Structures are given as structure tokens and as C-alpha cells.
Amino acid sequence: MLDLEGGNRLGAEVESEIDRGVSPPYSGPEKHYKSRSRIGRLPIVFLLPRSASKLFASTSASSAEEESQSQFDAGEQEEELKMSSQAASRDVGHQTDISRMQSEGDGTFKRKPSSFRNWIEKDGKFEPEKDRYHLYVSYACPWACRTLITRKLKGLEKIIPFTAVSPRMGEHGWPFANVDPFPAAGVDSINHAEHIKDLYLKADPNYSGRFTVPVLWDKKHQTIVNNESSEIIRIFNAAFNDLIEDKQKRKVDIYPEGLRKEIDELNEWVYDGINNGVYKSGFASTQAAYEKAVTQVFDSLDRVEKTFEAKKNKEFIIGDQLTEADVRLFVTIVRFDPVYVGHFKCNFRTIRNGYPNIHYWLRKLYWTNPAFSTTTNFDHIKTHYYWSHPHINPTRIVPVGPIPNIEPLHE
């Protein structure tokens, strides 16, 4: 029997999240594996009747959400009609289908900037309030997982609920569980959307960018506050402090005044060479563009390894405390051996065999801090990449290894 568990400890967190009404039960790795192959035989997109999707939604609705559910019912049909007519009014297939995404003329991948860039602040249009904002994420997405980690580090679980999409991003983009009931994916009980694109088109019917996660949604103004993870984590770090009950978590500051310059400098090359670097390697469409990108990835990893080597405290990339630089680096490194080595062809070496300091730092964060382990779902991560990019992996076969997905700490 293969050990498919690979250190995935998502279950406890997700089950406690169900009580607060955000995600359906996580059924454990073995069940997961079986249900994936069963669901894998269904058509890519199938729509449950509205009554069935309501049933599904009601199993995951918290009392606050139930209240908004009943308010919603009154205008539901009108709202649905509006959403579907907006979505149907123009063809957004070139924006939703990643396999139709064009690279630059020389085969390089260029990431488009995010469009919704509002801030949450007192006396502003978007004020800090409990149960006003909703976070939409994918467990697969490294950018979205930055926001999940920060939400947990700051103790925002009761203030900002979240919904996770199915990892299988198809021709209509990211689907919710009523369209693709993948384990640990949720139904959108706020907007009753079928795909993430519906939220964007509700916020702006003329939206012409990509339909990405994370999305921070405002229930009051019925719009997207922000869809840029680097900004959402700064909002989470500071904007809700007065509402956070846990005194320790309220004090957590992952962007401290004294380290900002160092954090910003590191973020810049880590983003270009590692976070976005792996995508430049994987999405390159010429040999030359790929080789340039993959070399930059490993030059940057070498630089991170040397940074740790020179430090006394090897548990954090900057100083003696956890900062957003750790959060931003972690989400890429934890995906590296399970996905980027194979799927994105970043295969000069693995983290576990080539980078002892990075490997120690990764395992230390994962095995000792639940904000990192409970937001890492290897099933979503591996399924997403290997399934969602048929232009890279036409068979959609998801590799079983590496075994385990993350190694034990062994200090």
C-alpha cells in the first residue's frame, strides 16, 4: 500500500472550518484518492440542478451565512439571471481557459498585473468589519495560500470566512463544488457563483483580465476589494487588529517597520526568480525561454541557500522572526518537489536533495506551525497543476510521488 498521506494534515483545520460554515469535510487521503478517480470519469463541467446545489450549500452555511442566505433568496432569481446574462453577453473563453493563454512573441511568460487594488481602512470605502469580507481561494494556488496562511497567523478565522474552489481549473476557469464536487472544495453561499469568473463579472461586467484567485470580496458593496495576494496579506497584517480577540495574534506583525527595507528587497528577487520564476519556466513556449527561466530559478535558489548558510537563525529567512518573506517563499518551496520539478521542468535538483538549509527551514515551518501545515493540501496542489494545464500534460495523469510529499523534520 502506497503512503499517499505525505504529511498532509489538512483534515483537522478543515473540519473545524465546517463548524464555522466554510468548507465541506476533508475525507482523509485514502478516500480522497478513491473519489478523485471516481470523479475523474465524470464530464469536466456538469451543472447540478439548483435544488441540489442548495442542498450542498446548506450543509456548509454558518448562521451568519444562513441569514444572508435568506436575504439572498428573495432576489435570488433576479440576481442569477443578471449574472448569467452578463456572463453570456460576451465570450470570455480566452480569459478563462489557461490552455488558450498566449505567451510573448519570444516564448516567454509574462504575468498580467492584478486589477482590483482597494485597501481596507477606517473611514475609507472599505472599513474593517467582522463578517463583511469573504475570501475566495484555491488550496492549489501559491498566491492564494499566502492569504490563507496570513489569515491564520493573524487569527482572522472568525472575522474573514473563506471558500476554496475545486483544484480542477477547466475551460471556464476555477469551479466551485456545485460544479465540481472535489473533496474540501466549497459551494459559494455568498454569491451562488458557479465559477470564480462569475464574481469578477458581477463586480465588473466589462472585466478583461484573468479570473484569478485569491479574491477578497465585500458583501456590503457586492464587489471585489482586492485580488492581489501581496496586498491582501498586508491588509490582513494590519487592518483588522482592533477586531482580533486573541491578544497574541493581534500583536503578530509579519511586516515590521524595522525589517521592511530588507523584506522588500528580498521579495523582489524571490518573486522574479522563484515565485514567478517557476511559472516562467513551466509556461515558456520555446527552448530558449525555458532555459533562461529555469537557470534563473536555480540561481535564485542557490542565493536563498547561501542566505540561510550565512545566518545564525536558520528558521527564518530574515532576522529572528517570521515575516511575510517566509510566507511568500514557503508557498513556492512546498510545491517544488511535488510539482515544479516535474510539471514545470525545474529539475536541476530537488529541494530535499539539493538544498539542506532551505529543506530544514521548509520542514520546520510546516511541522511546527499549523498556519503552514493546515493550509497546505497536497491533493489539491498536485491535481490542479497536472490536470489544469493540458497543453503541458495532455493525459492529465497526476503523479503519485514524491513519497512523501514532504519529509519529516528529524531534528
Ligand X SMILES: N[C@@H](CCC(=O)N[C@@H](CS)C(=O)NCC(=O)O)C(=O)O
Residue given cell 510521488 in the structure block: 401
Name the minimum Å distance from CB 324 to ligand X: 12
3-state secondary structure of 96: helix
User: Which amino acid, residue 1?
Assistant: M
**C-alpha pair distances (Å), 311 with each of 305, 316, 317, 320, 357:** 10, 9, 8, 10, 10
120 binds ligand X (CB under 6 A): no
Nearest CB to ligand X, comparing residues 230 and 285: 230
Nearest CB to ligand X, comparing residues 26 and 116: 116
Name the minimum Å distance from CB 342 to ligand X: 17
Name the minimum Å distance from CB 234 to ligand X: 12
Q: Cβ contacts of residue 368 below 8 Å, gap of 6+?
A: 409
Among 194, 228, 379, 407, binds ligand X (CB under 6 A): 228
143 binds ligand X (CB under 6 A): yes
The cell numbers describing 222, all together, are 457586492
Among 214, 273, 277, 342, binds ligand X (CB under 6 A): 214
Among this protein's residues, is 145 annotated catalytic? no
326 binds ligand X (CB under 6 A): no
282 binds ligand X (CB under 6 A): no
Q: Which helix (H) or strand (E) holds 163?
A: strand 162-164
Give the distance, in angstroms, between the CA of residue 405 and the centroid of all CA atoms in the same chain: 18
Other beta carbons within 10 Å of 306: 11
175 binds ligand X (CB under 6 A): no
Nearest CB to ligand X, comparing residues 155 and 173: 173
List the one residue out of 195, 270, 231, 206 whose CA is nearest residue 45: 195
Nearest CB to ligand X, comparing residues 54 and 197: 197
| CA 133/CA 397 separation, integer angstroms | 37
Selecting among 4, 92, 141, 184, the annotated active-site residue is 141
Q: Which helix (H) or strand (E) holds 215?
A: strand 215-218
Nearest CB to ligand X, comparing residues 14 and 141: 141
| CA 174/CA 171 separation, integer angstroms | 9
114 binds ligand X (CB under 6 A): yes
98 binds ligand X (CB under 6 A): yes
> β-strand 133-137 against 215-218: which pairing, if any?
antiparallel
Among 151, 154, 192, 210, binds ligand X (CB under 6 A): 210
Among 148, 187, 213, 333, binds ligand X (CB under 6 A): 213
Q: Which helix (H) or strand (E) holds 134?
A: strand 133-137
165 binds ligand X (CB under 6 A): no
Nearest CB to ligand X, comparing residues 173 and 282: 173
151 binds ligand X (CB under 6 A): no
Catalytically active residues, by annotation: 141
Question: Which chain residues interact with ligand X by CB under 6 A?
Answer: 98, 114, 141, 143, 173, 210-214, 227-230
